[in-house]
Amino acid sequence: MRIFPAILFSLFSLVAVATGVQAGPRPFKVQPYASFTIDGWSLLEGGVGTGQRDFGLIELGAGFVLTGRLEGHIGGFLYSGDRDVDGFTGDFGVYSNIRTDTRYNIFTAWLQHSFTNSYIRIGQLASDENFYVSEGGSLFLNSNFGALPSVSANLSAPLFSVGAAGAEYQHQLANGYFQIGVYAGNPGPGDRDDHGFKWKAGGDAGYFYIAERGWQFYGNSHLEAQVKIGAYFHSGSFESFTSGSYSKGNSALYAVIDQSLSESVSLFARIGINPESEYSIIDRYFDIGFNWQGVIGSRPEDIFGIAYSHSHFGEEFRKATAIAENRPVKSEQVVEITYQSGLIHGWQLQPSLQYIINPFHATKDVVVAGIRLSVDY
Mean pLDDT within 333-359: 95
Residues 6+ apart with CB under 8 A from 166: 122, 123, 124, 125, 127, 158, 181, 182, 183, 184, 208
Which among 82, 87, 78, 166 is positioned nearest to 130, based on CA atoms? 166
Which CA distances in Å does 261 have to 61, 175, 225, 293? 35, 20, 9, 12
Task: Answer whether 344's CB lies under 8 Å from 337's CB.
Answer: no
CB 24 within 8 A of CB 68: yes
- At 33-84, the pLDDT tens digits run 999 999 999 999 998 878 899 999 999 999 999 888 999 999 999 999 877 7
Host domain of residue 255? 4-376
Answer yes or no: are the C-beta atoms of 119 and 113 closer than 8 Å: yes
Q: What is the rounded distance in angstroms from the CA atom of residue 295 to the CA atom of residue 275?
A: 41
Helix (H, G, I), strand (E, B) or coil at 281: coil
**Chain mean position to CA 334:** 17
**356 touches 366 (CB < 8 A):** yes
- The model's pLDDT over 202-220, given as tens digits with 9 standing for 90+, comes to 999 999 999 999 999 887 6
At 219 the pLDDT is: 72
Which one-letter amino acid corresponds to residue 261?
L
Task: Write the pLDDT tens digit of every residue in 131-171.
Answer: 999 999 999 999 999 999 999 999 989 999 999 999 999 99
How many domains is the chain partitioned into structurally? 1
- Residues 244-301 have pLDDT tens digits of 889 999 999 999 999 999 889 999 999 999 988 889 999 999 999 999 999 998 999 9
* Confidence check: pLDDT of 104 > 70: yes
d(CA 240, CA 243): 6
Across the range 226-231, mean pLDDT stands at: 97
CATH for 196: 2.40.160.10
How would DSSP label each residue in 61-118? EEEEESSSSEEEEEEEEEEEE---GGGTT--SS-S-TT--S-SEEEEEEEEEEE-SSE
Distance from C-alpha of 377 to C-alpha of 310, rounded to nearest angstrom: 35
